[in-house]
Chain A
Amino acid sequence: MRPDAYRFLRSDWRRFTGGRQDPLHQLFERAEHKYRPDQPRVPQGNPGGGQWTGDNSSVGQSDPRIVSDAPDLPTLGSQYAQNRTRGTVSRVLINGQIVEATPGQQARLAVVEAQARDAIRRVQELDPKWQPTPSAYESVEGLIEAHRADARQATGRISELQSAGIGPGPFAGDSIPARGPDRDFVVMERANINRIGSETGCHTCGTMNPGTPLDNFVLDHQPPTAWNPLGRPQRLYPQCLSCSSRQGNWISRNGGRR
């Protein structure tokens, strides 16, 4: 193991290993704690010469627990773990049956599960009842792919909502806090939204043209008042008339107020 192996470790590497008994965990722990750049080497000419050694250890003694001296330690352990055939095997419950998962699978499962959970949470902030279409799976790899499918569905739903004007759009720049859900806007709010609109355009489509007879941008509440089931604080963004109309149509087609 290279002396600066600790530099290649993520701070949250413990999330991806199988606990203290997992050789991968032990390896990373050693990389994190046991070696220092100034650690002495066995002098040349001695058995084991050139190897790193402890300050007080006998010359040439190597640690039998070290399983790899690969020059580059993997950052996440996923590729490394995939190639491992031995190691701690954990169990995952799939369709009521216990299925064994390798540490590599555990690591990938943890990552894709977290990604899917995060993507679904972002959708449900705007659409609390939304759920991804369930996938059928019978293996750990199937479960991993199911989580990936969930994340893809959630990402697609977010894009759909954004294009319909639900949630700050891809062109959102600055915004101002809304005093409430009402549309009793004051002159300063209108002026600020027009200023922001002239700088960054419609937050949904990016156009600089409000498309209105007096060239005023629509003051768009986000989340939209009719689509704010969790009662989250709202902000005002500039929106063009066309996107505003599309947003209203979409909300109505999806049942109106939530």
Chain B
Amino acid sequence: MQTSRIIRPVNSIIFICDRAGGTVPHWQKDRQILSTDSCISVACYPEQDGPTKVTLGFAGEVDPGHQADFNGVLKAPNRVLTVQNVPRETLLAMNVTKEIIRVQVWLNSKKWADDVVIGVSES
């Protein structure tokens, strides 16, 4: 099951992590996606210029058909994967069955992505 939300996130970034949070990666200039083994940060479309659509679901359901911009594993010790904003409020969430999951992220633009798709694989 996939869920979507149209948002204007504060600071134009979102974080993908376990519901308890994770280790936020250090900021790097001009990098859209940064990650640690427990948190992925994704730069969205600049908030004052327009909204961003964020979709969360299993990879088989949400895969837009082009190569993912990020593909890696993520720790989810509470088995609840969330999308959070800077104040650490949960924007989207989904239950997973494993504590370590594969996460793929697809962006519709290399610089100004206003469509962020997050796919989860548990195998």
Q: Which residues of A contact B (CB under 8 A)?
A: 183, 185, 190, 212-214, 216-219, 225-226, 241-242, 244-253, 255-257
- Residue in contact with B88 in the complex, picked from A183, A212, A257, CB distance below 8 Å: A257
Instruction: Evaluate whether A183 and B47 lie within 8 angstroms (CB atoms) in the complex, with A226-B10, A251-B86 already known.
Output: yes
Q: Chain B contact residues (Cβ within 8 angstroms of A): what range?
A: 20 to 34
Classify the secondary structure of B's interface with A.
Answer: loop
Chain B contacts for A244, CB-based, 8 A: 11-12
In the complex, the answer to whether B87 meets A225 with C-beta atoms within 8 Å is yes
- Residue in contact with A190 in the complex, picked from B12, B21, B48, B112, CB distance below 8 Å: B48
In the complex, the answer to whether A249 meets B46 with C-beta atoms within 8 Å is no
- Residue in contact with B24 in the complex, picked from A216, A218, A245, A252, CB distance below 8 Å: A252
Chain A-chain B contacts (Cβ-Cβ < 8 Å), number: 75
Residue B8, interface by CB 8 Å: yes
Jot down 11 A-B pairs with beta carbons below 8 A, ordered by A: A212-B46, A212-B49, A216-B48, A225-B87, A242-B30, A245-B11, A245-B43, A248-B11, A249-B27, A251-B87, A255-B88
Chain B contacts for A257, CB-based, 8 A: 87-89
B92 to chain A, nearest CB (A): 16
In the complex, the answer to whether A214 meets B49 with C-beta atoms within 8 Å is yes
